[in-house]
Amino acid sequence: MRYIVTGGAGFIGSNLAETLSQNHDVVIIDNLATGRRVNIEHLLDHPRVTFVEGSITDLDLLTEVFPGAAGIFHQAAIPSVPRSVRDPLASNEANVTGTVSVLVAAKDCGVPAVVAASSSSVYGDTPVLPKHEGMVPNPLSPYAVTKFADECYGKVFSDLYGIRTVFLRYFNVFGPRQDPKSEYAAVIPKFVTKLLAGEPPVIYGDGEQTRDFTFVADVVQANIKAMESDARGVFNIAGGRRISLNELASILMELTGTRCEPVYEAPRPGDIRDSLADITRAREAFGYDPQYPVEEGLRQAVAWFRERA
């Protein structure tokens, strides 16, 4: 098969492209705004991989690249709640206009399926746990709004034009190739790099907020299984277990061998309090089965970051 991976130089996209390249031809599209060339350096000479540097908002580029593809794995986005709070227009352009461009190009080029990244942030801070796909979305940030809008567009394109669309609501993905240097980096790479440097991690809030962390290899599995199935709609992708940020810091201190107690700062606007996923729907629709308990995923992530410290 020939597959397109938008955002394929990013954290999740590069892991996905690498796995796909073992059995398929892969075209990576990335403008390197948040993706990094170093993530795909080892793939650039691969006989099955083609890298196209460009933006998903460039419809002409997409309609040039998409013909003949068996499916599109749409991972490109500006993936940050704080950045969206600071610059909602940029997030909307990349995440909404970009997604609509991908869907339009898929329709015009006859691509039968789009599997796209959504986010658990669409649920907001509703007190019900675990979060299930039947809940009414309650986005708290511009980023969350863009992801919910993407899902709505996906359903409309599926209903109107017959494209099979799947939107995967990721819960706190972590693992190798996650960028710890960005101002908007996720909590785990920030914690790990701080601890490896002998510095205390920073927790926004009291640390008792909980997250359902998901190892990137499980997210890759979910994308591929969703593409190979006949599923359509919205699905939670998570580990199915939540831990507090205080517990996370404690595990990482043990794995890094560094005892630096966290520094606590004021909560950030747009952040949710608790997160836990019901993954029954994905399990039943396309056999999603997370293989990495959070401790094992953290062990692999720490080893990867340690090699590059």
Q: Tell me which residues are annotated as active site.
A: 143
Going edge to edge, which strands form the sheet with 71-74? 49-53, 25-30, 2-6, 71-74, 113-119, 164-170, 233-237
Helix (H, G, I), strand (E, B) or coil at 143: helix
Given a contact cutoff of 8 angstroms between Cβ atoms, the answer to whether 95 and 150 are in contact is yes
Contacts of 102 (CB under 8 A, 6+ apart): 6, 56, 62, 72, 74, 76, 114, 116
Strand pairing class (243-244; 210-211): antiparallel
For the chain, count helices (H), then strands (E).
11, 13
Residue 224 in tokens: 């591929």
- Please give the C-alpha separations between residue 115 and each of 76, 84, 94, 136, in angstroms, as whole numbers: 12, 23, 17, 22
Residue whose pair of structure tokens reads 């099979």 in the numeric block: 164
Q: Are 17 and 24 in contact (CB under 8 A)?
A: no
Query: What's the token pair of residue 280?
Result: 């029954």
Q: Is 90 left (phi over 0), alpha (psi -120 to 50) or beta?
A: alpha
Contact by Cβ (8 Å): 163, 103: yes
DSSP string, 161-205: H--EEEEEEE-SEE-TT--SSSTT--HHHHHHHHHHTT---EEES
- Measured CA distances, 233 to 134, 154, 159, 166, 278 (Å): 11, 8, 11, 5, 15
